[in-house]
Chain A
Amino acid sequence: MKDLSLLSNELERALLTLDKDLAEKVILNAIKDSTPIDVASELVSLSLHNIGYLWEEGKLALSQVYMSGIICEEIIDKVLPPLSKTRKNQPKMAIGVFEDYHLLGKRIICSCLRASGIEVMDLGGGLTTDKIADIVRKEDIKILLLSVLMLTSALHIADLKQKLSDTDVKKVVGGAPFRLDENLWKEVGADAYGKDSSEAIEIVNKLMEA
């Protein structure tokens, strides 16, 4: 791909002004001298990573992170249909909202991962311990991403960990209560915690390499 950081700047600008057409043009142009999967996992992933990071720095608002994610997801889904063979060969991964119904955090993480060329099963919201334990076993999930908004839901992840103790699934957690208490992810026995969408991309990439 030609100058990645230049392209990424251009894409970020398009995303932050909510200019879907320009974003699509930048991505399609980049694909001309590369491949869809490389554009997703390098260019789009970098732009979304930067945007997530700027939110973390207080320089962007969540609405911009969210809108950027869905714009990219839509474009990447067109050039790289979900489940297509050209997507990454990766461990099976799923994301869901544990116990509560606050779906935005999950939606953001899910679209950022998908737009980065990573395949994630979306399990929805209001998931109980039993339901998740069931799915993890049936689908042989290796990386389980859990989003919560309520402290109560976060604390109940400890029970889920117990229920899954005989599997090798890695549990990655995130959501508002974890951001307000840095030790909470350890308290509930998660394997990793991500503050935002940019950390979610980093953690998942690391776990996929391991």
Chain B
Amino acid sequence: MTSMERVLTTLSHQEPDRVPLFLLATMHGAKELGLSIKEYFSKAENVFEGQLKIREKYKTDCLYPFFYAPIEVEAFGGEVIYTEDGPPNSGLPFIKDIDSIKTLEAPKVSESKVLHKVLKSIELLKQKVNNEVPIIAVAISPFSLPVMQLGFDKYLEIMHFRKDLFQKLMQINVAFCTDWANSQLKAGATAICYFDPVSSSTIIPRDLYLETGFEIAKRTISSLNGPTATHFASGNCLPIIDLVAQTGTAVVGVSANENIAEIKNACKNKLTVLGNLNGIEMRHWSKEQCYEIVKNTIYNAASGGGFILADNHGEIPFQVPDNVLQNISEAVLIYGQYPLNIK
């Protein structure tokens, strides 16, 4: 099976030849190319080459031309801060006065230089792999983006006390997210990873999700021209999993803090489960631990398909050593062959 066939089979809740592995290493490509993280993300060609190297080295079943979440606020004119050994972060929020939301305008994707880099890396990858390997692109949900636009505290305050501004911002962000996601699909992405951790039950209660993140996800996802995977970036989702399934998404990214068997059960034939290796702990995993954890995760969640093995955040920390990634990849080949050999 090609990676694409493997993934499509599991998405239709059937068992492919083996469990698909999404090794979502965004920064390891910089190491491969001997570049700093800042240099690496400065050119589409670097991410293109980096992703191909990662795939070759670790036999991952997708390409993941995700640069970094703050690239979207960069497109709005916000600042990005680079470090030598970690992901780029957003700087101080660019919306200083909440009332300026009234006149805020979203950038047009077609006119944004930074976003164009991402689109170009997707195009290059698509030319290279055609339909053999899924290309997973990222869009931050309209509901989660405001944390970087105005800061988490102000965002929670407008969500609760300034519903007029909240609604206005959602309107702007839904339009932007749709434009951004559809542009990436047009460039050749197979699916969109819709990052929505603010909707996770780690951050907001179910009732509030129902009123906010849920409605926004339904609205946004229905206007996208391709499938989505909803990712909570290691925030919890079990309390809202029934609702997530109603947003029109096909996949859900699950936290290491949650019981994967319980989640799989709740998602059966409705959502494909993506997860849930702990990226932060992974830094220290021995070969035995990699094998044991991969085996248990697969045995608890992969029966019947509807499962993709991945880390629990949608991004593997820069500090995770290459040999750990290698061991995880090997373990999938050993324990992930269908039919699973569960005793």
Q: Judge whether B280 and A101 touch: CB under 8 Å.
A: no
- The interface residues of chain A, by DSSP majority, are classed as helix
Q: How many A-B residue pairs have CB under 8 A?
A: 71
CA distance in complex: A61, B201 (Å):
6
What's the minimum C-beta distance from A62 to chain B, rounded to whole angstroms? 5
- The interface residues of chain B, by DSSP majority, are classed as loop
Query: Within 8 Å of chain A (Cβ to Cβ): is B208?
Result: yes
Q: Judge whether B204 and A61 touch: CB under 8 Å.
A: yes
CA distance in complex: A181, B322 (Å):
19
What's the minimum C-beta distance from B149 to chain A, rounded to whole angstroms? 13
- Which residues of chain B are near A61, meaning CB under 8 Å? 201-205, 208
> How many A residues, CB 8 Å from partner?
25
Query: Within 8 Å of chain B (Cβ to Cβ): is A123?
Result: no
Q: Judge whether A177 and B156 touch: CB under 8 Å.
A: no
What's the minimum C-beta distance from A95 to chain B, rounded to whole angstroms? 15
Of B48-56, B82-90, B332-340, the one contacting chain A is B82-90
Mark out the residues of chain B between 312 and 327 whose CB falls within 8 Å of any chain A CB in the assembled complex.
Answer: 317-319
- Which residues of chain A are near B90, meaning CB under 8 Å? 101
Q: Which of A64, A152, A153, A181 contacts B318 (CB 8 A)?
A: A152
CA distance in complex: A155, B84 (Å):
13
If A58-B239, A61-B201, A155-B319 touch, whether A66 touches B156 (CB-CB below 8 Å) is yes
CA distance in complex: A58, B200 (Å):
11
CA distance in complex: A27, B91 (Å):
38
Q: Which of A66, A103, A180 contacts B281 (CB 8 A)?
A: A180
Q: Judge whether A64 and B201 touch: CB under 8 Å.
A: no
CA distance in complex: A152, B152 (Å):
20
Mark out the residues of chain B between 69 and 92 whose CB falls within 8 Å of any chain A CB in the assembled complex.
Answer: 81, 83, 85-87, 89-92
CA distance in complex: A99, B280 (Å):
18
Query: Within 8 Å of chain B (Cβ to Cβ): is A170?
Result: no
Other than the given A58-B236, A58-B239, A102-B152, 7 more pairs (CB < 8 A) read A104-B152, A104-B153, A150-B87, A151-B317, A180-B257, A180-B278, A181-B278
* Chain B residues within CB distance 8 Å of chain A: 81, 83, 85-87, 89-92, 151-153, 156, 159-160, 201-205, 208, 234, 236, 239, 256-257, 278-281, 317-319
* Chain A residues within CB distance 8 Å of chain B: 18, 58, 60-64, 66-67, 99-104, 107, 150-153, 155, 177, 180-181, 184
